[in-house]
Amino acid sequence: MQEMKPPKKPMAFYYIVVLAVILLFNEMARPYFDQQQIEQVDYGTFMTMTDDQNIQKVEIQDNKILFTDKDGKKYKTGVMDDPELADRLHQSGAQFSQDIKEETSPIVSFFLAWILPLIIFFAIGQYFSKKLMEKGVGGNSMMFGMGGNQAKIYVPSSEGIHFKDVAGEDEAKENLAEIVDYLHNPQKYTGIGAQMPKGVLLVGPPGTGKTMLAKAVAGEADVPFFSIAGSEFVEMFVGMGASKVRDLFKQAKEKAPCIVFIDEIDAIGQKRNGASMGNDEREQTLNQLLTEMDGFEGNTGVIILAATNRPESLDPALLRPGRFDRRVPVELPDLKGREEILAVHAKKVKLADDVDFHTVARMAAGASGAELANIINEGALRAVRSGRSLVTEADLEESVEVVIAGYQKKNAILSDQEKHTVAYHEIGHALVAALQSHSAPVQKITIIPRTSGALGYTMQVEQKDKYILSKEELENKIATFTGGRAAEEVKFGQVSTGAANDIEQATKLARAMITRYGMSDDFDMVAMETITNKYLGGDASLACSAATQERIDKQVVELVRKQHEKAKQLLEENKDKLDKLAAYLYEKETITGAEFMHILKGGDPDEQVELADTAETDEKSQTLNLE
């Protein structure tokens, strides 16, 4: 798509103004500079020099006489009432003349004196008001007589985004295909009396392709695309936002059929609550948006798409039928989706033959489309860094880890003792996971520090798509989280700070089990917490009395403690394996799941292992035990 820029005043206009100013200045300043080299003398000297015939040329002006001597030196003197001057000059043989006063035509002088300054002031005023408008500090549009609309208009072109560019997200595309069909063929819908929804809300976590989908709808339907971010409506001055909304809809109606895309609509569409003061601007903007949406008929061909990752915060008035009544979820891609997204973005880079998107996609569980695009790019950068011209599988696998855990810290120097501790810690996670049933197999263990602060991590990859987890599986997960600390205790008899991240994750999981999944004996199926922010981290807020909170806290501690004890016991029983594996990891720094399993099953560490993948089947989620 190309972006159409709003028409500008031709640049030539500004050049002419600047040129005029320079010329004028030049004209005024020249005499001043010329006079700098002219010596001023009294009239007597002038008369003496005339008599001495030492004068070459004389120019008599209104109020001064300019003359040069035989050597060409310049002088000036004042004019005196001297009727014989001409005679004397003639006798001295000097060349002389009276300045002929050039009468400037009255039109030109009027232009110079009045019109030109006006033009200059106007141009300067225009320039500054434009600057101010750009910064959004401008007054309101009526005052300046120009619209403050900043919606960027895209006109479809051959290289526009289409549905095929948006990989995965099949459900969302299916849903939006109807709108494309309507834009192509409205009679089909109006004929039967059906009305298209005016507004469609794209809901999902950041970076899942909501903007892309909106552009693709415009691309597929071959209609203009207006895009504006919700935050652009919210200006410093009250009333600006509302006038922008008006302008946007005016433009859109002129260009109909078309797509209007409002990104981050939650910036203006947040729930209004009567109490809050100082949000006048946002409220007015929202009201204007509601009015505009009601104002146009369902079948004008203007379709409004909006994106948000906080649907729960939107004002109910915005969501009622006739406004944004259709909601299209744009979720994080599943394994197949991730593979497709990788393939789409990999078209931009040169790939080696060994690249297998399936493996990369499996490693990058939970990654959004934007992160996958980033993984491909990081891989390409890594290839360049190591002086290769093709992106290899290793590049991509490393960049998955970079995106998840940060870069390798090559020069972080761990002491020998620290390295031992980290090795035991990571093997602790992996071993506890492997010794329990229903745990995701270990894919990789490493003790190379990362810039995220992790000193090492154990990567587990689920064997197949998992949509529900049993209580036992969740408990095992908690045990796995505690496995790192448990190994340190079993081996060294002391604890370290290295388990901070594990503790956080174990607590979060245990808390969710008790407050949200109804997995405690005490509370039965009563929700003690509600999720407030599904797509942005999933914060939860408590919904119970203080007394209940106390009981919840106790139960959380109990639950984690039980799993921690279990992990310690498992490791005690398998201490020989723990030692063997930790020594191997200490030596190698990074080992694969296959090597891990080989040694666990009693294999010889020095024996070459078949580097087969531990998890061949599809998976959905992956657990990373950072630290």
Where on the chain is the footprint of ligand ADP (CB under 6 A)? 166-169, 206-212, 307, 341, 344, 369-370, 373
Shortest distance, position 374 Cβ to Zn ion, whole Å? 25
Number of residues that bind Zn ion (CB under 5 A): 4
> What is the CB-side half-sphere exposure of residue 80 using CA atoms within 13 A?
12
Nearer to ligand ADP, 166 or 431 (CB): 166
Stretch that binds Zn ion, among 31-39, 162-170, 260-268, 499-507 (CB under 5 A): 499-507
Strand order of the β-sheet with 64-69 is 39-40, 74-78, 64-69, 55-60, 95-98
CA gap 559, 550 in Å, rounded = 14
Q: Is 627 in the site for Zn ion (CB under 5 A)?
A: yes
Question: Nearest to residue 620, comparing CAs of 334, 358, 338?
Answer: 334
DSSP states along 396-452: HHHHHHHHHH--B-TT----HHHHHHHHHHHHHHHHHHHHSTT-PPEEEEE---BTT
What lies within 8 Å, CB to CB, of 245 at 6+ separation is 233, 285, 288, 289, 292
User: Kind of pairing, strands 64-69 and 529-531?
Assistant: unpaired
Task: Pick one of ligand ADP, Zn ion, none as the site partner of residue 370 (Cβ within 5 to 8 A by kind).
Answer: ligand ADP
Task: Pick one of Zn ion, ligand ADP, none as the site partner of residue 484 (Cβ within 5 to 8 A by kind).
Answer: Zn ion
C-alpha torsion 548→550→552→554, nearest 10: -150
Task: Pick one of Zn ion, ligand ADP, none as the site partner of residue 390 (Cβ within 5 to 8 A by kind).
Answer: none
Question: Nearest to residue 51, comparing CAs of 14, 97, 87, 11?
Answer: 87
Asked if 162 contacts 215 with a C-beta cutoff of 8 angstroms, the reply is no
Which burial class, exposed, middle or buried, applies to 271 when counting CB atoms under 10 A from its CB (0-12, 13-18, 19+)?
Answer: middle
Stretch that binds Zn ion, among 63-71, 291-299, 498-506, 533-541 (CB under 5 A): 498-506
Task: Identify the sign of the CA torsion 359, 365, 369, 372.
Answer: negative
Shortest distance, position 344 Cβ to ligand ADP, whole Å? 5
Task: Pick one of Zn ion, ligand ADP, none as the site partner of residue 502 (Cβ within 5 to 8 A by kind).
Answer: Zn ion
Site for Zn ion in 254-293 (CB under 5 A): none
Task: Pick one of ligand ADP, Zn ion, none as the site partner of residue 216 (Cβ within 5 to 8 A by kind).
Answer: none
Question: Nearest to residue 181, comparing CAs of 223, 221, 226, 222?
Answer: 221
Say how far residue 156 (Cα) sits from the centre of its chain: 23
Shortest distance, position 175 Cβ to ligand ADP, whole Å? 14
Task: Pick one of Zn ion, ligand ADP, none as the site partner of residue 361 (Cβ within 5 to 8 A by kind).
Answer: none
Shortest distance, position 406 Cβ to Zn ion, whole Å? 16
CA gap 88, 91 in Å, rounded = 5
DSSP states along 56-114: EEEEE-SSEEEEEETT--EEEEE----TTHHHHHHHHT-EEEEPP-----HHHHHIIII
Amino acid identity at 481: F
CA gap 166, 156 in Å, rounded = 17
Nearer to Zn ion, 285 or 460 (CB): 460
Q: Is 502 in the site for Zn ion (CB under 5 A)?
A: yes
Nearer to ligand ADP, 344 or 490 (CB): 344
Nearer to ligand ADP, 136 or 206 (CB): 206
Nearer to ligand ADP, 112 or 370 (CB): 370
Shortest distance, position 334 Cβ to ligand ADP, whole Å? 11
Nearer to Zn ion, 269 or 484 (CB): 484
Shortest distance, position 481 Cβ to Zn ion, whole Å? 7
Q: Is 456 in the site for Zn ion (CB under 5 A)?
A: no
Stretch that binds Zn ion, among 67-75, 118-126, 238-246, 617-625 (CB under 5 A): 617-625
Nearer to ligand ADP, 266 or 281 (CB): 266
Q: Is 241 in the site for Zn ion (CB under 5 A)?
A: no
Asked if 360 contacts 374 with a C-beta cutoff of 8 angstroms, the reply is no
Shortest distance, position 473 Cβ to Zn ion, whole Å? 19
Which residue of this chain has its Cβ atom nearest to Zn ion in the complex? 484
Q: Is 595 in the site for Zn ion (CB under 5 A)?
A: no
CA gap 88, 83 in Å, rounded = 10
Nearer to ligand ADP, 210 or 323 (CB): 210
β-bridge mates for residue 328, sequence order: 202
Nearer to Zn ion, 141 or 625 (CB): 625
Q: DSSP 3-state assignment of 623?
A: strand
Identify the residue among 484, 489, 490, 556 touching Zn ion (CB under 5 A).
Answer: 484
Shortest distance, position 370 Cβ to ligand ADP, whole Å? 3
Q: Is 315 in the site for Zn ion (CB under 5 A)?
A: no
Shortest distance, position 160 Cβ to ligand ADP, whole Å? 14
User: Kind of pairing, strands 55-60 and 199-203?
Assistant: unpaired
Q: Is 205 in the site for Zn ion (CB under 5 A)?
A: no
Asked if 60 contacts 96 with a C-beta cutoff of 8 angstroms, the reply is yes
Amino acid identity at 229: A
Asked if 324 contacts 199 with a C-beta cutoff of 8 angstroms, the reply is yes
Asked if 290 contacts 245 with a C-beta cutoff of 8 angstroms, the reply is no
CA gap 548, 555 in Å, rounded = 11
User: Kind of pairing, strands 225-229 and 199-203?
Assistant: unpaired
426 is catalytic: yes
Q: Is 489 in the site for Zn ion (CB under 5 A)?
A: no
Shortest distance, position 485 Cβ to Zn ion, whole Å? 7
Task: Pick one of ligand ADP, Zn ion, none as the site partner of residue 210 (Cβ within 5 to 8 A by kind).
Answer: ligand ADP
Shortest distance, position 179 Cβ to ligand ADP, whole Å? 17
Which residue of this chain has its Cβ atom nearest to ligand ADP in the complex? 369
Task: Pick one of Zn ion, ligand ADP, none as the site partner of residue 627 (Cβ within 5 to 8 A by kind).
Answer: Zn ion
**Per the residue annotation, which of 426, 475, 488, 595 is the catalytic one?**
426
Nearer to Zn ion, 160 or 484 (CB): 484
Nearer to ligand ADP, 1 or 442 (CB): 1
CA gap 308, 313 in Å, rounded = 10
Residues that bind Zn ion (CB under 5 A): 484, 502, 625, 627
List, by residue number, the catalytic residues. Answer: 426
